Amino acid sequence: MITKQHLRQNLVTQRTRTISYAIRDVVVAAKLLEAKGRAITYLNIGDPLVYDFQTPPHIVDAFCEAARKGLNGYSASAGVPEFREAVVEKERKINQVKIVSNEVIATAGISEGIQMMMAALVHPGSEVLLPGPAYPPYIAFVRFFGGTPRTYHCIEEEGWRPDIEDLRAKINDKTAAIVLINPNNPTGALYDPKTVQSLIDLAGEHGIPLISDEVYDRITYGQKLTSTAALAKDVPVIGFNGLSKVYLVPGWRVGYMYFHHPNGELAELREHILKQARIRICCNAPAQYAAAAALRGPDKYLEDVVKRLRTRRDLCWKRLNEIEAISAAKPEGAFYIFPSIDLQNRWKNDEQFVMELLKKTGVLVVFGSGFDPVFGAGHFRLVFLAPPVKLESSLNAIKQFLGN
Q: Domain 57-296 has what CATH class? A: alpha beta
What is the mean predicted confidence (pLDDT) over 331-351?
95
pLDDT over 90, % of the chain: 89
Q: What is the pLDDT of residues 12-61, one digit of tens each?
A: 888 888 877 778 888 888 898 889 999 999 999 999 999 999 999 999 99
C-alpha 217: how far from its chain's center? 11
CA pair distance 171, 284, nearest whole angstrom: 38
Q: Is the pLDDT higher at 314 or at 25?
A: 314
Q: Residue 11 pLDDT > 90, yes or no?
A: no
Give the side-chain half-sphere CA count within 13 A for 322: 12
List Cβ neighbours of 348 (8 Å cut-off, separation of 6 or more): none
How far apart, in whole angstroms, are the C-alpha atoms of residue 295 and residue 55?
13
**Element containing residue 8 per DSSP (H, E):** none
Question: Residue 384 in contact with residue 391, Cβ under 8 Å?
Answer: yes
Going from N- to C-terminal start, the domains of the chain cover: 4-54+301-403, 57-296
pLDDT tens digit string along 125-166? 999 999 999 999 999 999 999 999 999 999 999 999 999 999
Distance CA 355, CA 334 (A): 25
| CATH topology classification for 4-54+301-403 | Aspartate Aminotransferase, domain 1 (3.90.1150)
Residues paired with 131 in a beta bridge? 152
**Against a cut of 0.95, is the pTM above it?**
no
Give the model confidence (pLDDT) of 190-213 as tens digits: 999 999 999 999 999 999 999 999
Of the pLDDT bands very low, low, confident and very high (cuts 50, 70, 90), residue 5 is low
What is the C-alpha separation between 108 and 111, in angstroms, rounded? 7
Among residues 400, 37, 45, the alpha carbon closest in space to that of 251 is found at 45
Reported as a single tens digit per residue, the pLDDT across 253-308 is: 999 999 999 899 999 999 999 999 999 999 999 999 999 999 999 999 999 999 99
For 101-111, write each residue's pLDDT tens digit: 999 999 999 99
- Residue 173, Cβ density class (10 Å: 0-12 exposed, 13-18 middle, ≥19 buried): exposed
Q: Please, are residues 219 and 247 in contact by the beta-carbon 8 Å criterion?
A: no
